[in-house]
Amino acid sequence: MRTRLFAALLVTVLTVPVVAGDWPTWRGPNRDGVSTETGLLQSWPSGGPKLVYKTSGIGGGMASVAVVDGKVYTCGSGRGGTQLVCLNAKDGSKLWSTQIGGGGDPNCTPTVDAKGEYVIAMTKGGDVLCANAKTGAPVWKKNFGRDFGGKMMSGWGYSESPLIDGDRVILTPGSKSAAMAALDLKTGKTIWTTEANRDLGNKGKDGAGYSSIVISKAAGVKQYVTLTGRGVIGVHAGTGKLLWHYNRVANGTANIPTPIVKGSMVFTSSGYGDGGSAILQITRSGVKELKYFSSRELQNHHGGVVLVGDYIYGGHGHNKGLPFCLAPKTGKVMWLEDDRDLARKKSAAVVYADKRLYFRYEDGTMHLVEASPRGYKLHGSFKIPGSGSPSWPHPVVSDGKLYLRNQDELYVYDVSESKS
């Protein structure tokens, strides 16, 4: 019965129309870390794939990149504050940069709308900028604290990547009166805010988490799902009403990984000693826990997980990236590579493309791993040049290229089988 219940949950979800090869936002077109590209290298040569170019001067930070219509967008810190930076994807030359606001090294990956007209980015301090995607000219600005009474669960600053859903921008200020907010894409005008005055549980802390919002159409209701300081929440896309919440997976330090949604299923995880993982079912009346894993059994620190077919892959362990494969239909861990050498590489950010998993470890090591429930198999590795710890920005696979942000530098590799 349990197996049939899990299987029934895994149905097709809403997808975002984008140009083939584009990576317009955090974790790709559907914000799930999955690329649909094919014709990529299935094994890497000794020393790794061919380096196409390296560029520098983008500023400090852990932000990843968005790649749209021949342009690369990212965020970096400089003397003037946090900058939204646009590069030429062919050679890495800077096309423009625009100041977003103050704050330290940013973690936000910019988001470009489906028409390629606007780009949204934000600072650790909660400054939000909408800019013209072609010129960088500011269109509107908001601030989480000033405009929404925003609150972060801990002191490392806002780290989400804004969601653009049609003509709306969806954000997580994290306050009781605006746990989530929807703004007009063109004007920044507030459409709705989410009141979260109810008791959300005793685990974790009040405020926004470090996660980013994803879209679900579970139980016939379009809703926005994210991991906050008090756990996972679901918010009605039309009205902003808080539909449900789940507290058990929250930890008291930093709730980070972006949830995975498919059909009525939600997979969520967090690190630290009091975190863990859970497989949930969204229902018309709320949310139901189908499987919970303690932090010792299964937890993802901040590198995220990917759902490929019927299996979830990622890195297990706080400050570790031990590769694992989970079958969400049954809740069974198919395999977990508990290797001391891998554990020493620490946390791993993961994306998927063409039957392979791209693991980027905190120590700057890249691994190419087969996406198979049959077991762990490595197909190549290399070290990102000059990478110091922590090497955290998530990898991006776009148009046959592997993009690796490393603080002020960006490395771009050719991973296309036909060209390498």
Taking residues 343-366, what's their average pLDDT?
97
Tell me if 278 sits within 8 A of 289, measured CB to CB: yes
Quick one: pLDDT band at residue 78, thresholds 50, 70, 90? confident
The pLDDT assigned to 19 comes to 56
> Nearest to residue 137, comparing CAs of 75, 183, 86, 82?
86
How many Cβ atoms are within 10 Å of 297's Cβ, its own excluded?
12
**Mean per-residue pLDDT over the chain, rounded:** 94
What whole-number percentage of the chain has pLDDT above 70? Answer: 95
Token couple for 172: 């997580």
Strand 348-353 versus strand 34-35 pairing type: parallel
Q: What is the pLDDT of residues 180-229, one digit of tens each?
A: 999 999 999 999 999 999 999 999 999 999 999 999 999 999 999 999 99
The pLDDT assigned to 388 comes to 73
> Nearest to residue 217, comparing CAs of 209, 225, 228?
225
Taking residues 268-297, what's their average pLDDT?
97
* Residues 6+ away with beta carbon under 8 Å from 1: none
> Whole-model pTM?
0.94
Quick one: pLDDT band at residue 20, thresholds 50, 70, 90? low
Q: What is the pLDDT of residues 56-77, one digit of tens each?
A: 999 999 999 999 999 999 999 9
pLDDT > 50? residue 17? no
Tell me if 179 sits within 8 A of 196, measured CB to CB: yes
Q: How many Cα atoms sit within 13 Å of 9 on the Cβ side?
A: 28
Taking residues 281-308, what's their average pLDDT?
97
Q: What domains does the chain contain, in order, with CATH numbers?
A: 2-414 (2.130.10.10)
Tell me if 191 sits within 8 A of 183, measured CB to CB: yes
The pLDDT assigned to 396 comes to 98
The pLDDT assigned to 414 comes to 98
How many Cβ atoms are within 10 Å of 157's Cβ, its own excluded?
18
CA distances from 16 to 13, 45, 108, 165, 236 (A): 10, 34, 20, 9, 18
C-alpha triplet 328, 334, 338: angle, nearest 5°: 125
Tell me if 326 sits within 8 A of 337, measured CB to CB: no
> Nearest to residue 395, comparing CAs of 349, 362, 361, 333?
349
Distance CA 120, CA 133 (A): 9
Taking residues 71-99, what's their average pLDDT?
96
Token couple for 13: 């979800």
pLDDT > 90? residue 338? yes
pLDDT > 50? residue 344? yes
Q: What is the pLDDT of residues 43-60, one digit of tens each?
A: 999 999 999 999 999 999
Length of the chain equals 420
More confident residue, 6 or 268: 268
The pLDDT assigned to 1 comes to 42
